[in-house]
Amino acid sequence: MGSINVARMLLGGLLAGLVFNIGEYVLNEVILAAQWSAFMAESGMGEFGAGQIASFVILTFLFGIVLIWIYAAIRPRFGPGPKTAVIAGLTMWAFGWLLIGAFLFTAGMYPTGLTVTTIVWGLFEVPIAAVAGAWLYREGEGA
């Protein structure tokens, strides 16, 4: 069992992060744009500024890197390929979307529709990002 190829993990993680960023843009700026605007106005928070959006983009790339780290970590046990990437994606989804979404829902921090839509969207988005990032990941020095 070899060590994680950090360069390939970062490369795959950046691709997964790109998939996340595209997916989150489509979800939040196209599909849910009106709902987010209404919620932000009702809560008195206003629209997100450029600095906040930049932070979201950076954090989303970090999510991609963590996702491919999970893939690389479980790859020796489950084998390389899309099946293992989907397992990594579902693991990340369970912790990063389902549990956090359940907390936000229980705390009443966001409207039900936004919370549920985000959780369900992630159920598809995260495994797709995992498969994309895993496609670039290789182990070994010559990989």
Residue 141 scores a pLDDT above 80: no
Average pLDDT over residues 84-104: 95
Q: What is the DSSP string of 21-57?
A: HHHHHIIIIIISHHHHHHHHHHHT--PPPHHHHHHHH
> What is the model's pLDDT at position 108?
86
Residue 72 scores a pLDDT above 60: yes
pLDDT tens-digit profile of 9-50?
A: 999 999 999 999 999 999 999 999 999 999 989 988 888 889
> What is the model's pLDDT at position 48?
83
**Structural contact between residues 121 and 75, judged by C-beta atoms closer than 8 angstroms:** no
